[in-house]
Structure 1
Amino acid sequence: MHTIFGAGGAVADQLLPILLHSQQKVRLVSRTAKAIPGVESVAADATNYTQTLQAIKGSSVVYLLLGLPYDIRIWRAQWPVIMTNVINACKETGARLIFFDNVYMYGKVNGWMTEETAFNPCSKKGEVRAAIANQLLQEIKAGNLQAMIARCADFYGPIGFKTSVPNLLVIQNLIKGKKAQWLGSADQPHSITYVPDAARALYLLANKPEAFGQTWHLPTASELITGRQFAKEAAAVMQKPDGVSAIPGWMLSLIGLFNRPLKELKEMNYQSDSPYLFSSDKFNKAFGFTPTSYSDGIKETCLWAMESGK
């Protein structure tokens, strides 16, 4: 049984068809279970240990793909509880755990981020992510469970607009006939993970026993791309006017007075005002995987957006 905590999210929605195509038994876990043909749907709150344990019982692999509201108050209160509950439930049941993580714990990095990059968070959210990642790593080192961390950069793809800033600011704006936007500098190189690649990689990792006990960066194109280039390629596919408007930090501060998620983005400006380079060489070599190019990924995302009428 492959169990997904965080059903209905961007990554979960891409992983589900891969699991079904591979004829795996699938259990989807979320706070409000939604019936989907061919899978078991379970309602559970990961901050409740009893519910978490019941949702994990019988699982061979658990994918922790949960996303919490972008609010540091919620992250501080809930992430440590969720990680503790999931770890303990996996230890009790013998399920293997794959934790889908981001790069906030690295902080500002001079050069390429790799699996060996030290944790040096420079944001409040980065401190939370470092703490829960270290908690899991300590359990792995102690031999208490089989688990791994699968990490990705900012992401995009045919996944909706709620959790992808490039989708929201570039592709959705172009769909609406507006000018593309970008957070911070539009001229700094910025790695972006194509979510369908990340989902394929999660399943590959789940089926390779020796992959457990390690941290993996999920496949991401190694070519350099800037926000301006991303917007230019998207505009070309969608036959929209070229150009991008950068959103400076002071504007986020102003808008953040009335919009909590945008206020929360302010401390992450360091990711946009300097090079943000994410290496997945370890995964690519281990699995013979070639990440989707930005050209192809942007094209597929734009075609999806136009066809879905978003």
Structure 2
Amino acid sequence: MSRNNVQPATANETTRMMSGRVAVIGSSGQIGALVTDQLVAQGMAVRAISRSTTQTRDDAGVEQKTIHAYTREELGRALAGCTHVISTLGLPYNARIWQREWPSMMDELLNACHMNSLPLTVLDNMYVYGRAASPITEDSNLAPCSRKGEARLEGWRRMHAFQQRGMDVVVCRAADFIGPGAETTILPWSGIAAVLHSGHGALRWLGDPGFMHSFSNTVDIAGALVDVCARSEMRRHDVIHLPAVDAFSGHEFQDRLSRVAGRGITLHATPSRLVRLAGIFSGPAREQSEMMYQVERDYVVSDARYRELTPQSPHRSILGCLEQWAQMA
């Protein structure tokens, strides 16, 4: 849903809009830490807000704030003096926890930002669309087919209600994560790194490796969240899909990984029926089994809206990502 079409902001306008202090909520998480890095690299003042007591950042311009709970009262106090908010909040990968806590967590976050009159940028996922036909756009029907998707839909309803009241909230939905730090995903980073850096390991793929699937690079997600936070033309939209790597199949990933690793990589695909069978005995498998609809057909996410608003953003191929990751220590 688009609010109003405006011309892209100039660099000077973006700089002016981003003066002040940006609060990153959930800063100790995998994306929150990367968002903080992006802001620091751009010379922004940051308040890193988290429930973690183990944050050890000593970057100039980063003020760390530990809170006990994500309530509107604690968040409201933590946000005092900030000018923008980026939320990268997450929960343990458990449907019961998501259904119980996600909608209320969004209520608390929204009310805290509303009380402080702060624009809010929220990281979300694609689960609200359910079995939508590819390519999935921001205008695809919201028809979740999982308990986690239903929880996210309830969170979206709360956010949309605040948008309807005039609050500046943009929801940024990302495809499955891939890249440094991404573990709760179809292609965990530890497995990719093992093949690239140790020369050992095989490729593990959930579902049918013949279908196409979209992923978003963790570093790209962080950079895009900063873009959406900063740029007025992006904030004319209620929902934006963050940039995705060009979609690929498991077989294509096997081929590209073999090329970069310099050896043939074996692919071990786990079909849905085995994941569902394992779910009888394993909690993690049970949580994954309701999401297997994403790998039983092509699941391609359109990021066209984001790219129209940022025409300078390069398209990423999985081969290019792998070549870059192979250079990492």
**TM exceeding 0.5:** yes
**Distance (Å, rounded) in 2 between the aligned partners of 1:164 and 1:8:** 18
Q: Find the residue that maps to 1:137 and give its secondary structure.
A: helix
- The unaligned stretches of length 5 or more in structure 2 are 1-20
Q: CA RMSD in A?
A: 1.9
Alignment of 1:6-155 (within 5 A): 6-33=26-53, 34-37=55-58, 38=60, 39-143=62-166, 145-155=167-177
Percent of residue pairs bearing the same amino acid type: 27
**Distance (Å, rounded) in 2 between the aligned partners of 1:226 and 1:170:** 17
**Distance (Å, rounded) in 1 between the aligned partners of 2:86 and 2:284:** 26
Q: Find the residue that maps to 1:225 and give its secondary structure.
A: strand
Q: Find the residue that maps to 1:166 and give its secondary structure.
A: coil
**Distance (Å, rounded) in 2 between the aligned partners of 1:17 and 1:76:** 31
C-alpha distance 240-167 of structure 1, shift in aligned 2 (>3 A): farther
Deviations 1:24-71 (A, max 9, x none): 111111112313112111112444332222222222111110121000
What residue in structure 1 maps to residue 323 of structure 2?
Answer: 299
Contact 1:216 1:283 in 2 (8 A): yes
**Distance (Å, rounded) in 1 between the aligned partners of 2:249 and 2:265:** 14
CA shift at 1:130, angstroms?
0.9
What residue in structure 1 maps to residue 238 of structure 2?
Answer: 214
Q: Find the residue that maps to 1:116 and give its secondary structure.
A: coil
Which of 306, 311, 320 is the equivalent residue of 1:283? 306
**Distance (Å, rounded) in 2 between the aligned partners of 1:169 and 1:160:** 8
**Distance (Å, rounded) in 2 between the aligned partners of 1:15 and 1:292:** 19
**Distance (Å, rounded) in 2 between the aligned partners of 1:240 and 1:46:** 48
Question: Is 1:264 equivalent to 2:292 in the alignment?
Answer: no
**Distance (Å, rounded) in 1 between the aligned partners of 2:51 and 2:199:** 32
**Distance (Å, rounded) in 2 between the aligned partners of 1:116 and 1:165:** 25
**Distance (Å, rounded) in 2 between the aligned partners of 1:251 and 1:164:** 17
Which of 214, 221, 224 is the equivalent residue of 1:191? 214
Deviations 1:159-185 (A, max 9, x none): 225334313475155347222110111
Q: Find the residue that maps to 1:87 and give its secondary structure.
A: helix
What is the number of residues matched between the two proteins?
302
CA shift at 1:293, angstroms?
2.1
What residue in structure 2 maps to residue 203 of structure 1?
Answer: 226
TM-score of the aligned structures, taking structure 1 as reference length = 0.91
Q: Find the residue that maps to 2:138 and give its secondary structure.
A: coil
Deviations 1:230-286 (A, max 9, x none): 132123212343231111123223433443222100000110010001011111011
**Distance (Å, rounded) in 1 between the aligned partners of 2:115 and 2:259:** 53
CA shift at 1:9, angstroms?
1.9
* Residue type at the aligned position of 2:271: P
* Residue type at the aligned position of 2:110: I
CA shift at 1:123, angstroms?
0.7
